[in-house]
Amino acid sequence: MIAGLASWLGPEEWQAVRLSLRVSLVATLASLPLGVLAAYALARWSFWGRPLLNGLVHLPLILPPVVTGYLLLLSFGRRGIFGEFLEQFGIVLSFRWTGAALAAAVMAFPLMVRAIRLALEAVDPRLEAAASTLGASPAWVFVTVTLPLILPGVVAGGVLAFAKAMGEFGATITFVSNIPGETRTIPSAIYAFLQMPGGEAAAGRLVIVSVALAMAALLASEVLARRVARRVAGA
């Protein structure tokens, strides 16, 4: 099926599809632990910087994507504070696919954190107290009770973030431009094809792929979430 899809699409389009999948997958998996941590901090801890963290996490949801992309360029570009620091370790983000993954992760982060936080708030803290009376330290309580119970939320958050990352355009094109084979994801490719005379057919095929992938992700999340929820409900 994959070979058929590759031959149906032109080489440039196929490249964009593969790149989008890779960027979104890396963005989702790399930000998932951070997402769980941020959700846990927001749901359970009270500290002075909590409103600040909450704002920071949700900012990409409200800011124009171009602004987010530009801020990423300022901070993670080769002259930016984080960019210069990371370059010492040979990590360059600007105008690379890794930068596209960072942009996608930042843009998808609020959705991911929101889903996980909702799941955390639904966990009965009395179960965690019961685990602690049975000898589990706070870290073990998290691993053996909290995490399994919020798994449906984590899965849902991950799928949502993946879908959002697949569609990210504004921040990506601002931060890492639109370089074929490096940063030209599906949305960027559609945009580029539409700028070219006679590019409508290629753009149309990518649109179909986009819709199919989004549908598949939604269905997969539904099935996965239901399966996990059934396991956790203990029936």
Which of 51, 132, 211, 222 contacts another protein by CB under 8 A? 132
Q: Token digits for 20?
A: 């989008």
Interacting residue with another protein among 72, 149, 161, 189 (CB under 8 A) = 149
Binders of another protein among 168-227, rule CB under 8 A? Answer: none
- Minimal distance in Å, beta carbon 222 to another protein? 20
Q: How far apart are CA 160 and CA 169, in angstroms?
A: 16
Whole-number Å distance between alpha carbons of 58 and 201? 37
What whole-number distance in Å separates Cα of residue 218 and Cα of residue 230?
Answer: 18
- Measured from the CB atom, is 45 or 140 closer to another protein? 140
State whether the Cα torsion 182-186-188-190 is positive or negative: positive
Determine, following the binding rule CB under 8 A, whether residue 131 of this chain makes contact with another protein: yes
Return the SS3 of 168: coil
Q: Outline where the chain has alpha helix (H).
A: 2-8, 11-44, 50-62, 65-76, 81-87, 97-122, 125-133, 138-141, 147-167, 170-176, 186-195, 200-233
Pick 131 or 190: Cβ nearer another protein: 131
Determine the length of the chain: 235
Size of the site for another protein (CB under 8 A): 24
Of 108 and 149, which CB lies nearer to another protein in the complex structure? 149
Q: Which is nearer to another protein, 143 or 215 (CB)?
A: 143
Question: By CB under 8 A, is residue 46 in contact with another protein?
Answer: no
Give the tokens for residue 48.
């002075």
Residue 223 CB, nearest distance to another protein (Å)?
A: 19
Residue with smaller CB distance to another protein, 67 or 232: 232
d(CA 78, CA 13): 29
- Residue 148 found at the interface with another protein (CB under 8 A): yes
Of 140, 143, 195, 215, the residue at the interface with another protein (CB under 8 A) is 140
Contact of 185 with 96, CB cutoff 8 Å: no
- Rule CB under 8 A: which residues touch another protein? 124, 126-127, 129-138, 140-141, 144-145, 148-149, 231-235
